């Protein structure tokens, strides 16, 4: 698939859908200690996917293949 045929996406996901990425990210408790606006992420270089957790009023888990290469590098 060429870049022009690619499908780019950024989305929120459920906490239970993080699978193996959850073990590489800080817990909700740790992000809450850092305060509102805290963020941490893990990138998968081969697929160009980034999974992140952002703490706003609560935990917001997200996944993206659009910004994956930019954040992970």
- What are the sequence ranges of the domains in the chain? 9-72
Which pLDDT tens digit goes with each residue over 15-61?
888 878 888 888 889 999 999 999 999 888 788 889 989 999 999 99
Give the β-pairing of 39-44 and 10-12. Answer: unpaired
pLDDT of residue 55: 93
Is pTM beyond 0.75 here? Answer: no
Q: Exposure pattern of 29-65 as b/e (b: 16+ CB <10 Å)?
A: eebeeeeeebeebbbeeeebbbbbbbbeeeeebbbbb
Whole-number pLDDT of residue 23: 86
Which has the closest alpha carbon to 51: 60, 62, 59? 62
The pLDDT of residue 1 is above 90: no
In the prediction, which pLDDT does 44 show? 82
Per-residue pLDDT, 61: 92
Give the distance, in angstroms, between the CA of residue 4 and the centroid of all CA atoms in the same chain. Answer: 24
């Amino acid at each position: 698939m060429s870049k022009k045929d690619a499908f780019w996406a950024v989305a929120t996901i459920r906490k239970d859908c993080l699978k193996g990425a959850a073990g590489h990210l800080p817990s909700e408790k740790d992000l809450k200690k850092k305060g509102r606006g805290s963020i941490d992420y893990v990138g998968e270089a081969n697929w160009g996917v980034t999974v992140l957790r952002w703490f706003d009023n609560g935990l917001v888990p997200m996944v993206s293949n659009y910004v994956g290469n930019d954040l992970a590098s």
